[in-house]
Every structure is written in C-alpha cells, then in structure tokens.
A and B are shown apart, each in its own frame.
Chain A
C-alpha cells in the first residue's frame, strides 16, 4: 500500500501558519480544526480488468464538515479507468481513549485497463480554504496469463485458481482461496495405507467463515481399498504456512487408501466446492462483513458456488521386496505382533480345543489372512471363526484380528500342536519380520463316545453356554422330524383364494340390496298400494268368476262388491268400510271419472248389494254380464287420473 502522510510542517511554516490563523480567526471569529489526509490504493499488483479502489481518508479530532471539503486537483489515472468520476463519500466517528476521532473517506472505484505500470497522479484536497496534497502512487498491472490468476508462489506449487460464475468475484478470490489434495505418502508399498485429504485454504479466517457447504466429489480410486474417514459435522480450521504466506486450512474430506496393485496410479483432477456469501447487489464477497468486521447482514445476502479445481496427482505403489521374504509371508503389511494360545491343556476325546491366534497392531487389517497351520498329527480341524477388533474410528486400519480354530482330537494321549509361524512386512522399516506362536501340548483323555443330543420333533430346551468357546456347542439341538410346514404355493396365490376373499363383500352387498329394497317398499307403500289396486281388484274378479263357476252367487256378488269397493277405497286412500255410495260417486267425478262410468259403478254396487240381501236376485247369465261390465268399468276407471 502506498500511503502519504501530509501532517508534517516545518517550524517556520508552523509559526507563519499560526500568525495567519490568528489573523484569520480575528477576521472570521472561528477556527477550523487540524486535519490529516492519507491516500491509498487497494493493491500493488492487479490483473487486467480487475477492480481496485483509490481511497482518500481525512481524519480529525473534530467533526469534519463535508461542505467545506472539495477536490482542488483531481489526480490523473493513467492505465486505470474510473468507474465513476465522483467518489463515494462516507463519514464515521470512532472513540479512542475517551476522545472522539472523525473520519471522512472518499473512494474511487477503478478498473485496471493496460498491462504495465498504472500511475495515479498527484492531486489536492481543499478543506476550509486550505490545500492538502495527495501524493502519486503506482500499481503494477499484469495479464491473467502472466499471473496464472494466482501469485507466482502458488502457481509454482501447482495450485489452480478458484472460480465462480461472477467474474468480479473471481478476481477478488485470486490466490486467496484454493484447494489441493494432500497425500501422506505418494510412494507407498503395496498394501501400505495412504491418507488422502482434500484441503481448502483461505488467506483469512474471515474468508473461510464466509464459505459454507464444503464438498468434494472424490474420483474413482482404481486399485485401492478405500475407507472414508468420518470428520464429524464440525470442520476444524488450522493455520498453515504455504508458499511463503500464512493460510488457514480446512480438511473437507479424507480417505484411507490401501493399494492393492503395484505401479503408477493417477488420481485424476477433481474440484472442491463451497458456497460463498455475498451481499446482494454489491457483488463483493468482502462486503459480506460490515465495516467494523462484525457479522454480516444476513438479510441482504445471497450465496454463490465457488469451484476450486485440484490438479491430478500420481501415487506410485512399490512392490514388496522379494529379498528376505519368509516362507510364511501371506501379504500382511503393517507393524503387527503375533501371539497364540489354546483354551485348555487337558481334555477328553469328546471335547473341542480352541486354538486362538491373534495378530494385532497398526496397518491394513484386510491384509491379514489366517495363518497357515502346519501338519497337525492327531487333530482334525472342524471349523474356525474370525473376529476383527478395530482400535480407533477406522474399521480397516489398526486393531486386532483373532482367528479361533476348532480342533478335535483323533486319539487319546499326549498331543502337540507345532509352532505356527507368521510374518509381515513393516513398511516403516522396509523389511520383513517373522514371529511364531506355540508349540502347544495338550493331554487328551479317552472319551465316552457320547452321541450328540437331538431335540425330537418339537424342540428341547436349548443348552446353556456353560463356558463353551465354540458357538457350535451352544446352538439348540437338531430336530428329528420334518416340520411339514412348507407349502410350495402361498395361500394367496391359490386360484380360489381371491373369489373366496370376495365372498364377504358379496354377502354384505346382498344384505345392502335387501335393505335397500325393503326401505324402498317402506317409503312408497301408499303409492305402491294405489298402483296395485287394479291388479288386486282383478284378482278378486277372478275369485268372483270362480265362485260363479261354482254357481255360488252369494259369494260371487260379495266378492265382486268387495273388489269394486276395495278398488275405490285404495284409489281414494280411504277405508272401504266408511265409504258410502254418494261419497264414491262424488269422489269419482272429482277425480275425473266420466259420469257414465260413475253411474255404472253405482249401478253395479247397488246390484251387488241387492243380490246379497235379496234372495235369487238374478241368474247366472245376469251374473256373467255383471262380471263383464265390472271388468269394463275397471278398465274405464284405470284411465282416470286419481290425483296424479
């Protein structure tokens, strides 16, 4: 930064100034406070097209009246373009040791235009009639290619520039934010674990605070066994010197890679990502903080993605040396120790012996295979189980692998298990180490040739563990009968299942249908009765006809009369008992029955009454004619409206 302090005055000029001030005070009746003026440009080196600012700051112990402030001589800007000819003016006050200090800043925004040295010429500020000089300063303008968009010290280390969708912010991030891949050992041995981390760097803590949602899509690792490391939800930041500068480092992701093949493996270029907060409208990530360096104004912010490319790197995996390789080597790589023991020193022929072999230490646990047992005369191996106990957070690096081998003695007597060798390659020392376990001596007594217990068809109380070492000794007994519970086709796939499942629905639907019919009949009983009057009357006419055929004239007339009265009573919604001939006649006429039909009705009813109460009222022929007339009358009456 170029600064010029313009507060120095010589003693003579001070004396002259004091005299002048005294005179001026006498003339004006007041005095202006002394001010200090500084000028600075935001950076020494800028790339073409990048933004920078030229700031003039006026400070005083008293309030600065901006009305008295003017630019006496505007500085020239060679090689730089002014974004706006008038500066941004800002005032602030600050208390220092109980005394207030007043500041007024004039800021010009500039854009670097030409490659070379840009010069901001000398200028002048006037305040209350006095003139304060502004010194000239220079800025080196370089091309993006020349800078590699990064300071040379970072470029040398293969760092690629971060980028966003905003060109302005890209320039502000130049050399300040970047990511790289950290490889703990780029030249490991086969099966020697390498820690690979994606680290993001920022030159200011505040810059990293402005960034969030760090992420990294790891590449395809190729011939490595890969285990991601859980870094927790809070990423830690630590200061690290890099390229001659102080940076702050955040490990975004970490993997443990164990090479499974020798040779060169290129880890292709990737990119780390984050989102950076910027103030909406201002497009400057630094504006995310207020001028006092406090927390940003969250209400007028937006976030934009920042991409931080990471260059490709190579890991060259060395083969394990053949020199000094023991015969018992089974590709275990790490700093391990080997031990073994048997669970008993005496037993019977019916017992099982557990040979426990433990290999533990630091290294890739996946490289530890079960030790090859030498010939075991007098023993038969019936099974084995492997347990892995990880030491730390990683499941594959560091810990213990336990092999439990079940041995059954073939004969009684003093039996022995010879020493078991195991060797591993220690990459830190670059050499092989062999260790042995045993030999183990076991006294085997004669057994009882006891058969294993079986449970029968329904099962039996399961045995208690009773200190058994092998899970085969703790399991529930076998069954002696087939369960017979395995249907080849599930029930719901049987062809009749679905129709049968529909049966309840059919039943309920039937009940609903019956209920609906019944309700309908209940609701429309009167109407149905009126509608059915004709058919009921005709049924009675048929009965009357039958009576006539039997020559029972009394019954004939009675039935005929009842049919007619019943018909009319139903149609008129009255009781047949209380219905007189006059009422019937009147009602028929009211309901639109013709006068002729009404008269016929009356005649017929009277005839029926007379025939019932007067003996031999007529012969069979008369009765037939009356029946025919009644049928005709019913047809006539049916045509009437009856109050529809």
Chain B
C-alpha cells in the first residue's frame, strides 16, 4: 500500500514535471525575481520600453527561464520596432510553452510578409507537424509514460484471463492503448529529435547577409530577412554559423552576432 502511494506520487510528479522557477529558487531570490518582474511590467505600461527591455533582459541574465518572460520581452522588442529580436523571443516562448496563443499570434505579426515557417513541409505532413509541436518534449514523454502504463493493465488482464467478455474488452483496450502508445512514441521521438539535435536560430538584425563561406570577405549568397528562422547546422566556426533555410534548403554562413539561438 505504502509502495503504491509512493509510486503514485512519483508518477504524479513525473507527469506534472513542472516547477515554478520562482518557487524553485530560495524564497528571497524568488521575491526578488517577482519584484523585478513587476518593475519591468510597470515600465512597459508607462511606455518606457527601454527601461522595460533592460529589466526583462536582466531577468533573462539571471537564468529565469519562463515562457511569459520571453513573451513579454518579445512585446518590448515589438514596441521598439525590433522585429527580429521580437520573433526570436516569441520562438523561445513557444519552445517553452507551445500552446502560448498570444506568442503565436504576435510571432505571426512580427513575421508579417515573410513566408510561413512550415513552407518547406509537405502539405500532408503539416497537420502532423502541428500536432507534434502542440506539446513539449517533456509533455510528450509524460503522456507516453501515462498511456503505456495505462495500456499495460488491460494488456496484462488480456494475457491472464482465459476467455469471456472481460478478456475481450481487455484485448480491445490493450490494442487501442498499444496503437495510441506507438503514435505518441512517434510524436515523442520526433519532438525529442527536434529539441535535442536540431538547433534553430532567428535572424535578429535587418540586412544580414548569408555568405558562401564563414568569412567577412566571402561571396555574398543572399540577404536573410529579419525574423526569419534558420536551421543551425554548425556553430563551431569562430563567430559564424552554418545555417540552412528551412523552406529553400539553401545553405550558407551567418555571423553569430545576428542570429538569436532558440
């Protein structure tokens, strides 16, 4: 009984997987974070966007990783007319909280006039890609764990029961659970691969030039649009990034200083 309770607690904490960063810190530090947060919000309300930017950036420098912090800072950049940086922050907010509707909406505004980020995706894969990005990798992991545990029960019953309606129902439940588990595992793997191995960056400055080689005097390839998202292939190039345009597949080099890493 005691073991069951312990297991349930572990499972709950696993599925929840969420801790308030402000709460996770010591109480004094959390209070300080909240005070800075309130000051930044106040500055924003008073239209003192420069002050608000500094305050939010300070919080960012203190390793406060929070979707709303990225989102608010994105809004500040919007107000300052810095589309690229705004898009970068909205991307970060969406990475932390994929269902942040406001961040998604503002990102669309910041990227107005640019081709959609999923332009290179085959049209039939687009709903799958959307579904995959609907949850974070942690959420997919929790869901996979929950569903596979829930599936194991009817599966075990189906194995143990000899015949009759209960066994049939357990079989249906196990088959359905198995199918859902496989589906979730696929989404989890795709999301995990995206989170772990694929690195994206957003062009934060206007007029950034993609070059054919990682050097200032290399051939100019094309001009990268501000706020556009690129796949970062290689970042170990002393101040340069090897990037791929997701829609066109064009590969070139951008200075690290004009790319915000998501």
Contact surface of A with B, Cβ cutoff 8 Å: 220-227, 260, 366, 382-387, 395-396, 406, 408, 451-452, 454-455, 459, 462, 470-472, 474-488, 490-492, 494, 496-497, 500-501, 503-505, 507-508, 510-512, 514-515
**A511 close to B160 (CB less than 8 A):** yes
**B66 close to A501 (CB less than 8 A):** no
Question: How far apart are B207's CB and chain A's nearest CB, in angstroms?
Answer: 8
B219 CB within 8 Å of chain A: yes
Contact surface of B with A, Cβ cutoff 8 Å: 10-11, 14, 17-23, 33-34, 37, 41, 44-47, 49, 64-69, 71-72, 75, 78-83, 96-97, 100-102, 105-106, 109-110, 112-113, 136-139, 141-142, 144-145, 148-149, 151-153, 155-157, 159-160, 188, 192, 195, 206-207, 212, 217, 219-223, 226
**A472 close to B81 (CB less than 8 A):** yes
**A511 close to B159 (CB less than 8 A):** yes
In the complex, which residues of chain B have a beta carbon less than 8 angstroms from the beta carbon of A515?
159-160
The A/B interface has a contact count, at CB < 8 Å, of 181
Q: In the complex, which residue of chain A has the Cβ closest to the Cβ of B72?
A: A478
Question: How far apart are B5's CB and chain A's nearest CB, in angstroms?
Answer: 16
**A222 close to B219 (CB less than 8 A):** yes
**B219 close to A226 (CB less than 8 A):** yes
Q: In the complex, which residue of chain B has the Cβ closest to the Cβ of A459?
A: B102
**B156 close to A508 (CB less than 8 A):** yes
**B137 close to A492 (CB less than 8 A):** yes
Question: How far apart are A218's CB and chain B's nearest CB, in angstroms?
Answer: 10
With A452-B44, A501-B148 in contact, do A487 and B159 touch (Cβ < 8 Å)?
no
Docked complex Cα distance between A342 and B149 (Å)? 64
In the complex, which residues of chain A have a beta carbon less than 8 angstroms from the beta carbon of B67?
483, 485-486
Docked complex Cα distance between A229 and B34 (Å)? 55
Docked complex Cα distance between A300 and B219 (Å)? 45
Docked complex Cα distance between A482 and B139 (Å)? 19
**B10 close to A384 (CB less than 8 A):** no
Docked complex Cα distance between A480 and B188 (Å)? 32
**B41 close to A480 (CB less than 8 A):** yes
With A484-B20, A514-B160 in contact, do A497 and B141 touch (Cβ < 8 Å)?
yes
A-B pairs with lowest CB-CB distance, top 3:
A383-B81, A504-B152, A484-B20
**A483 close to B97 (CB less than 8 A):** yes
**B137 close to A490 (CB less than 8 A):** yes
Assuming A386-B206, A451-B45, A482-B68, what are 9 further A-B pairs, CB within 8 angstroms?
Answer: A366-B223, A452-B47, A471-B112, A483-B69, A484-B23, A486-B21, A486-B96, A507-B156, A512-B159
Docked complex Cα distance between A366 and B225 (Å)? 12
**A406 close to B81 (CB less than 8 A):** yes
**A507 close to B152 (CB less than 8 A):** yes
In the complex, which residues of chain A have a beta carbon less than 8 angstroms from the beta carbon of B20?
482, 484
Docked complex Cα distance between A612 and B27 (Å)? 87
Docked complex Cα distance between A462 and B75 (Å)? 13
Q: In the complex, which residue of chain A has the Cβ closest to the Cβ of B22?
A: A482
6 of the cross-chain contacts (CB-CB < 8 Å) are A222-B219, A382-B49, A485-B66, A503-B152, A504-B148, A504-B151
In the complex, which residues of chain B have a beta carbon less than 8 angstroms from the beta carbon of A385?
81, 83
**B110 close to A220 (CB less than 8 A):** no
Docked complex Cα distance between A47 and B142 (Å)? 80
In the complex, which residues of chain B have a beta carbon less than 8 angstroms from the beta carbon of A491?
14, 17, 137-139, 141-142
With A382-B49, A382-B79, A484-B21 in contact, do A224 and B138 touch (Cβ < 8 Å)?
no
Docked complex Cα distance between A482 and B11 (Å)? 25
In the complex, which residues of chain B have a beta carbon less than 8 angstroms from the beta carbon of A477?
75, 102
**A500 close to B10 (CB less than 8 A):** yes
**A490 close to B138 (CB less than 8 A):** yes
**A475 close to B109 (CB less than 8 A):** yes
With A482-B64, A483-B66 in contact, do A454 and B45 touch (Cβ < 8 Å)?
yes
Among candidates A386, A455, A470, A484, residue contacting B22 with C-beta atoms closer than 8 Å: A484
Question: How far apart are B38's CB and chain A's nearest CB, in angstroms?
Answer: 8
Q: In the complex, which residue of chain A has the Cβ closest to the Cβ of B71?
A: A479
In the complex, which residues of chain B have a beta carbon less than 8 angstroms from the beta carbon of A459?
101-102
In the complex, which residues of chain B have a beta carbon less than 8 angstroms from the beta carbon of A224?
219-220
Question: How far apart are A503's CB and chain B's nearest CB, in angstroms?
Answer: 6
**A462 close to B66 (CB less than 8 A):** no
In the complex, which residues of chain B have a beta carbon less than 8 angstroms from the beta carbon of A384?
81
Question: How far apart are B244's CB and chain A's nearest CB, in angstroms?
Answer: 18
**A490 close to B195 (CB less than 8 A):** yes
In the complex, which residues of chain B have a beta carbon less than 8 angstroms from the beta carbon of A225?
220
Among candidates A223, A454, A475, A510, residue contacting B106 with C-beta atoms closer than 8 Å: A475
Docked complex Cα distance between A314 and B46 (Å)? 60
In the complex, which residues of chain A have a beta carbon less than 8 angstroms from the beta carbon of B82?
383
In the complex, which residues of chain A have a beta carbon less than 8 angstroms from the beta carbon of B19?
484, 487
Docked complex Cα distance between A39 and B19 (Å)? 99
Q: In the complex, which residue of chain A has the Cβ closest to the Cβ of B44?
A: A478
Question: How far apart are A189's CB and chain B's nearest CB, in angstroms?
Answer: 18
Question: How far apart are A395's CB and chain B's nearest CB, in angstroms?
Answer: 8
Docked complex Cα distance between A387 and B207 (Å)? 11
In the complex, which residues of chain B have a beta carbon less than 8 angstroms from the beta carbon of A488?
21, 65
In the complex, which residues of chain B have a beta carbon less than 8 angstroms from the beta carbon of A226?
219-221
Question: How far apart are A383's CB and chain B's nearest CB, in angstroms?
Answer: 2
